Structure 1
Amino acid sequence: MLNGKTILITGGTGSLGKAITKHILKEYPDVRKLIIFSRDEQKQFQMAQEYPSRQYPQIRFFIGDVRDLDRLKRAFQQVDFVIHAAAMKHVHIAEYNPEECIRTNVDGAQNVINAAIETKVQRVVALSTDKACAPINLYGATKLTSDKLFIAANNVKGVNPIRFSVVRYGNVMGSNGSVMPFFLQKKKEGVLPITDPDMTRFNISLQGGVDMVMYALKHALGGELYVPKIPSYRITDVADAIGPECEKPVIGIRPGEKIHEEMITSSDSYNTYDLGAYYIIVPTVPTRPLEAFLSQNQDKKVPAGFNYNSGDNTDWETVESLRQLIKEHVNASFEV
């Protein structure tokens, strides 16, 4: 699918961007070019040490910001596929710096769309988050806006055959700023601060996130929003898995946080179908007949009023399963 193609990843030096890079180079050794687009020169420098040009001549590092439309247009020249992973993502930081969050997550999304339409990009897959579903914080609101922009882009592209789609998932295990690396660090101090003992979150591995992006690149017709079927965890179980002997004071939730996260609301249910491994939310203003988005005899509509909530999930991680996942995906040397 990607051999002979040029792929660009915005936010390519982030946790998921690096995981996608690793996957592409392993699975598609004949990729024509893989462009890492980000604004952090230090992270690019460090990543370049992992992928020296002699060994990986197909990698290019491109300094740029999604806020800069002209720079994006330059970067998108002769690019086939764009994976949009750049975002300002920390909830509490976005609450205190709202304009910066909007400029990156909303204006940046529109810039990616405009640059992709004006160049010869064939497909764009944008990364979303569970916080975009029924948002109560600015980060979630900007990502919901971003999702809507990418879905609507399929209606304003004119005769351009480009396809825009979105993948939405929960907390990525071991990603920068996520709870597991934070708790592993705090374990050294003997204290694991709990925001709220009832808090739950969806959980997906980096590879699971990569697999969703690859699925969308291969199958999306344009306008779909993909949601994975993944387990939830209780924040208290994560704490018990990492530091059973640690103190666990309850410190209260941070600005803009939810107790539980959603990925599909009951209002979304009227446009949601079960694909097996994933749910798909089809566009409310479709560019194709509904049948085009669905597979014969496999996809089925979810019941009216269905919602997908981390607190009501039927699939749960346990303390023991979390310990195994931490060792496999976060820190190979982890021991209780």
Structure 2
Amino acid sequence: MNLYQNKSILILGGTGTIGKKLLSVLIEYQPKVIRIFSRDEYKQFELQQEMANFDNIRYLIGDIRDEKRLLMAMENIDYVFHLAAMKHVSACEYNPFEAVQTNITGTQNVIQTALRAGVEKVIFTSTDKAISPTNVYGATKLTAERLMSAAENQKGSKRTIFSSVRFGNVMGSRGSVIPLFKQQILDKQMLTVTDLNMIRYMMTPTQAVELILQANQLAKGGEVFVLKMPIVKLNDLVQVMIDLVTKKYHIKEEIKIREIGIRPGEKRYEELMTEDEAKVATELEHMYMLYPSLHAKPLSFKPAMIKVTQPFEQPTIEQETLRTWLKEEKLI
């Protein structure tokens, strides 16, 4: 079923890693138009060059903090993918109110403008850091999740459907450890690592986009879709990165590893959902589905009563699988 043929689509934060991957997938469904909305004019210029063969992509400079600009961007739009955010933990810790204005106020702006524009569906991308948050980034994303679910109960007769997708780290995204590790190996022959025993939920951009689109198809209103994500041990990722980068760039020197300790706001491990959420989650093949507490459950609703296991109690991805993913996604 092609939901997107001849449809008008808006990708907020469309020049980021997931936004660009989402664009490359959606464009194949022959939409009427895809609007790329972001603050970064240089990234937009680069994307324009990359996608020059397509005449149904529009590039809009703007900020989700600007409600009027958002409303203009949403004119005649069917589907909105809300990927825009302040994402870096340390930047959010040092500039907390900036994170509030983008991740919380910006998300409320998205909700209000989508209702006024009569958008069909809005899907918001959240994070595993929203579970029992210990940092500003996670707290703002949790609040944004709640805003999206609450919008379902406050929209009155409006037809717009709001839902969220919660996932972990996306391999190769800007500012993440994979491009950082690669550059450190090339520049200094040394890696700085917070904690080699740290574990993270991690997925490729391809996996993330596939599940975002699946969630958008399933969304009926107010749900949070929690993607089943593979777990990566940081030490395994470090070893694979060293192996792949040194072989590709013919580096003979030994690569040293220096642990620098966990930064403010970081956890040793993240979680997919809380124990209370797990008690009422519906389990699907590739994700769990959480209904908002105020939203009426479907008649067929049967809680999965999932037992929450901590990431350190679950198997991690093998190094060979990591190696394959990095090569397939061309991240080295």
The answer as to whether partners of 1:180 and 1:326 remain within 8 angstroms in 2 is no
Aligned partners of 2:185 and 2:191 also within 8 Å? yes
Structure 1 residue aligned with 2:102: 104
Q: What is the rounded CA distance, in whole Å, between the counterparts of 1:134 and 1:280 in structure 2?
A: 18
What secondary structure sits across from 2:285 in the alignment?
coil
1:301 aligned counterpart, secondary structure: coil
Task: Provide Cα deviations, 1:68-115, integer angstroms capped at 9, x if missing partner.
Answer: 011111111100010000000000011001111110000000000000
* Structure 1 letter corresponding to 2:313: D
Partner residue in 1 for 2:75: 77
Percent identity between matched residues is 40
Which blocks of at least 5 consecutive residues in structure 1 are unaligned?
Answer: none
Q: Report deviation, 1:309.
A: 3.7
Alpha-carbon distance in 2 for matches of 1:212, 1:57? 27
What letter is aligned with 1:203?
A: M
The CA distance in 1 between the partners of 2:16 and 2:115, in whole Å, is 25
Give the aligned residue type for 2:132. Answer: A
Corresponding residue for 1:36? Answer: 36
Structure 1 residue 328 corresponds to structure 2 residue 328: yes
Report the Cα distance in structure 2 between the residues aligned to 1:174 and 1:302, rounded to whole angstroms.
Answer: 34
Give, in whole Å, the separation in 2 of the partners of 1:141 and 1:319: 32
Match of 2:220 in 1: 221
Cα distance in 1 between the residues matched to 2:192 and 2:222: 40
Give secondary structure in 1 for the equivalent of 2:77.
coil
What one-letter code is carried by the residue in structure 2 that aligns with 1:289? K
What amino acid is aligned across from residue 324 of structure 2 in structure 1?
A: Q
Aligned-residue CA RMSD in angstroms? 1.4
Unmatched runs of 5 consecutive residues or more in structure 2: 244-253
CA distance in 2, matches of 1:313, 1:290: 31
Which of 66, 69, 90 pairs up with 1:68? 66
TM-score by length of 2: 0.92
Secondary structure of 1:9's counterpart equals strand
**Correspondence for 2:285:** 276
Match of 2:298 among 290, 304, 326: 290
CA–CA distance in structure 1, aligned partners of residues 189 and 33 of structure 2: 46
Q: Which moved more, 1:165-174 or 1:186-195?
A: 186-195
Q: What does residue 170 of structure 1 align with?
A: 168
* Structure 1 residue aligned with 2:13: 11
Letter of the 2:44 counterpart: Q
In 2, Cα distance between equivalents of 1:125 and 1:324: 30
Residue in 2 that maps onto 1:95: 93
Whichever residue aligns with residue 33 of structure 1, its letter is V
The match for 2:257 is 248
Other structure's SS at 1:243 match: helix
**Could you tell me how far apart the structure 2 residues matched to 1:210 and 1:320 are?**
23
Match of 2:24 in 1: 22
Matched residues in 2 for 1:222 and 1:25: separation? 25
Given candidates 240, 245, 266, the residue that maps to 1:257 is 266
Q: Say if 1:261 and 1:311, in contact at 8 Å, map to a contact too.
A: no
Once the 2 structures are TM-superposed, how far is the Cα of residue 181 of structure 1 from its aligned partner? 1.5
Q: Could you tell me whether the CA contact under 8 Å between 2:200 and 2:233 is conserved in 1? A: yes
Shift in Å, 1:127: 0.3
Read off the aligned partner of 2:46 and give its amino acid letter: Q
Determine the C-alpha separation between the residues in 2 that align with 1:275 and 1:160.
28
Q: State whether residues 264 and 308 of structure 1, in contact with CA within 8 Å, keep that contact through their aligned partners in structure 2.
A: no
Residue identity in the other structure for 2:205:
L
Cα distance, 1:37 vs structure 2: 0.6
Distance 1:225 1:176, change over 3 A: same
Q: Write out per-residue CA displacement over residues 160-219 of structure 1, whole angstroms, 9 at most, x where no aligned residue.
A: 111000001111011111111211111122211121122000111101111122112211
Secondary structure (helix, strand or coil) at the match of 1:270 reads: helix
Partner of residue 2 from structure 1, selected from 4, 12, 28: 4
Please identify, of 265-274 and 104-113, the stretch whose mean Cα deviation from structure 2 is larger: 265-274
CA contact (8 A) 2:280 2:303 kept: no
Aligned pairs for 1:114-193 within 5 A: 114-188=112-186, 189-193=188-192
Q: Secondary structure at the match of 1:166?
A: strand
Which amino acid is the alignment partner of residue 70 of structure 1?
Answer: K
2:190 match: secondary structure = coil
